[in-house]
Amino acid sequence: MHLILMQPTEILVDQPIAKLTAEGHNGEFCLLPNHVDIVAALVPSILAFELESGEEVLWAVDEGLLVKQGSTVRVAVRHGVPGDSLETLQQAVRQRFQILEEREAQARSRLSKLESSFLREFIDLGGTP
């Protein structure tokens, strides 16, 4: 099989694999090369796949969509974080969430300032709040 793992802004993985394990709304499932084609909505979880060399690779993924068509498996997620083990994945995910929370806080602050500025300008023009 060939795996293409992507985020909206980049392709994270594009390589041959022997096996893939993912988690959808109905639970965890495994895909092997001869499995039937499938479309599955993914939940935030660990995406694990085995390379043809036998090495296991782990990615923490946000919600997304998996499409297996023929020998190609395409996985589109909002966020993906690689890790060597569950411990390193946990740490990487915490760091990523902290960064996202900080960005969201900055965006909320900027939006609040924009709203305040808009109301001041509206009142200055003779409007009523």
Q: For position 101, what pLDDT does the model report?
A: 78
Structure tokens at 65: 């969509």
3 state SS of 55: coil
Confidence class for position 94, pLDDT limits 50, 70, 90: confident
Q: Are 51 and 75 in contact (CB under 8 A)?
A: no
Q: For position 128, what pLDDT does the model report?
A: 62
Mean pLDDT in residue range 32-41: 94
For 2-83, the fitting CATH number among 3.40.50.150, 2.60.15.10, 3.90.1150.10, 3.20.20.70 is 2.60.15.10
Residue (of 72, 87, 105) closest to 5 by Cα position: 72
What rounded mean pLDDT belongs to the chain? 89
The pLDDT tens digits for 50-63 are 999 999 999 989 88
The pLDDT tens digits for 111-125 are 998 998 888 888 888
Confidence class for position 14, pLDDT limits 50, 70, 90: very high
